[in-house]
C-alpha cells in the first residue's frame, strides 16, 4: 500500500469530517522519509469551539509489515493563522468538507504566510546568534572566565549558527531527522564560501568524533532529560535515535540529538542542574581558551555575513 492510500484510509476512519493536510518530511519532495518517520497531519476545523487551542493526538496504525505513527494536530480557524508553530513550506491537501465547496484554500494561504515571513524570522535568529556569540567572546576574554560553564554555551552557539545557515539558504523549516540531507542540499547548491562555512562549523562541533559509543551516551542522557520533564511521549525521539544507531547512521542520530538539545537549552534556566547531562548528550569537549576564541570569532563572522 502506498503512502497516499494509507493516509486516505486513516483519515476516512478517524477524521472524516475535517479538512486535512500532510506536512513534514512526507510532504517534502526533496526529502526521502525514513521508516521511523511519523506522518504529520493538520486537521483543520472551519467552525471550532471558541478558544480551542491546537491539540495533538498520536495514532499507532498496524500494517502488514510495520506500524505507522500518525501525529495529528487538530486546529481551529480561530488560531490557525496566528499560531507560528504551525508553519510549513510544503504540504499535500486531503480535503474533506469545506475545501470541496470553496475556492479558498486555508492550507495554501498558511503556506504563503510562512514563506513570506521565514527570512524575517531567520534574520531575527541570526541577530540573536550575534548577541549570544559576542557575549561568549566577552566572557572568554575575562581573566577569571569559567570555561567549564561556558563550554555548553559555546557548543549551542555553534549548533544555532549551523541551523541558521541551513534555514537561510533553504528558505524552509528544519527537518531534524533529515538535517544531513538538508546540509547536503546547501553544500550542493550554494557557492564555495557557504560550503566552507558549513564545513568549518562541522569541524567546530567535532562531527568527526561521532560514533556508536557517542550516540549511546547521548541516548542515555536524552532519556534522563525526557524522564526529568515527565514527557508523556518520549518514545518518538528514542525510537528515531535507536533506528539511526541500528542503521549505522550515527551522524543523523546526533543531528537529531542536537535539535532536541537546542530546544531544551532555550527553555531551561542557565543554572539548571541537568546542564551537565545536556553537555554529555551533545558531547561537549573542553578546548584551550585561545581555540574557543578563534572558533567563536569565526561563528560571529558567518552570522554577520548573512545580514
Position 274 confidence tier, pLDDT thresholds 50, 70, 90 = confident
Cell of 223: 532519556
Fold of 3-104: Beta Polymerase; domain 2 (3.30.460)
Q: How far apart are CA 194 and CA 185, in angstroms?
A: 12
SS3 70: strand
pLDDT at 247 over 70: yes
Give the per-residue pLDDT at 71.
93
pLDDT at 206 over 90: yes
Domain ranges of the chain: 3-104, 117-304
Q: How far is CA 151 from the centre of its chain?
A: 22
Taking the model in full, what pTM does it have?
0.90
Q: How far apart are CA 27 and CA 186, in angstroms?
A: 19
Amino acid at each position: 500500500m502506498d503512502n497516499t492510500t494509507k493516509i486516505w484510509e486513516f483519515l476516512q476512519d478517524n477524521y472524516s469530517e475535517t479538512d486535512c493536510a500532510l506536512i513534514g518530511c512526507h510532504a517534502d519532495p526533496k526529502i526521502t522519509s525514513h521508516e521511523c518517520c511519523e506522518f504529520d497531519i493538520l486537521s483543520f476545523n472551519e467552525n471550532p469551539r471558541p478558544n480551542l487551542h491546537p491539540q495533538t493526538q498520536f495514532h499507532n496504525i498496524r500494517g502488514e509489515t510495520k506500524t505507522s505513527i500518525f501525529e495529528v494536530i487538530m486546529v481551529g480557524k480561530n488560531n490557525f493563522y496566528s499560531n507560528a508553530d504551525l508553519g510549513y513550506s510544503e504540504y499535500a491537501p486531503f480535503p474533506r468538507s469545506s475545501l470541496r465547496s470553496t475556492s479558498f484554500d486555508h492550507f495554501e494561504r498558511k503556506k504563503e504566510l510562512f514563506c513570506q515571513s521565514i527570512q524575517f524570522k531567520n534574520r531575527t535568529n541570526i541577530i540573536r546568534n550575534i548577541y549570544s556569540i559576542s557575549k561568549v567572546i566577552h566572557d572568554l576574554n575575562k581573566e577569571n572566565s569559567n570555561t567549564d560553564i561556558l563550554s555548553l554555551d559555546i557548543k549551542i552557539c555553534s549548533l544555532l549558527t549551523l541551523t541558521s545557515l541551513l534555514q537561510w539558504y533553504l528558505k524552509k523549516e528544519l527537518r531534524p531527522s533529515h538535517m544531513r540531507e538538508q546540509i547536503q542540499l546547501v553544500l550542493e547548491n550554494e557557492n564555495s564560501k557557504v560550503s566552507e562555512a558549513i564545513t568549518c562549523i562541522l569541524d567546530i562541533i567535532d562531527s568527526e568524533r561521532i560514533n556508536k559509543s557517542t550516540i549511546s551516551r547521548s541516548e542515555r542522557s536524552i532519556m534522563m532529560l525526557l524522564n526529568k520533564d515527565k514527557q508523556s511521549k518520549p518514545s518518538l525521539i528514542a525510537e528515531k535515535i535507536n533506528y539511526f544507531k541500528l542503521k549505522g547512521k550515527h551522524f543523523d542520530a546526533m543531528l537529531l540529538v542536537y535539535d532536541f538539545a537546542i530546544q531544551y537549552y532555550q527553555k531551561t534556566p542557565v543554572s539548571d542542574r541537568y546542564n551537565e547531562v545536556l553537555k554529555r548528550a551533545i558531547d561537549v569537549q573542553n578546548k584551550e581558551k585561545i581555540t574557543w576564541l578563534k572558533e567563536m570569532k569565526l561563528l560571529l563572522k558567518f552570522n554577520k555575513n548573512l545580514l
